[in-house]
Structure 1
Amino acid sequence: MEKNKQKEIEADRLNFNDDTDDVVRQVPATTDASEAVAAITSHINKYDIPDELEEK
């Protein structure tokens, strides 16, 4: 249980290091699933580093 608490504390600390320019918007609860998939895919594509460019 202590290990999970440490991970939670670390995640909270790292939230302050997020330098993305994302804007959180309120959306209706009935959002079409395809819109949600498109939104998360767009987010991933915007911030994900291609495997070829990642340091190994």
Structure 2
Amino acid sequence: MTMLDHSGELEAVNRLYELARDGATESSEYSQLDRQVFHALVQTYGAEEGIVRQTAVAT
């Protein structure tokens, strides 16, 4: 992994946090960053069989 990759991933996580903190979890930007960060986690740590990704649903 290059420093540029790490920087971009850190920026995505920070922005995802900002959107969540501000309650903007219904935006397309949040959804795209959520997928990007989740994909990076799976690439880094792998996925175990049977793990189902769950998303919070506001009531």
TM-score, structure 2 length as denominator? 0.34
TM-score, structure 1 length as denominator? 0.35
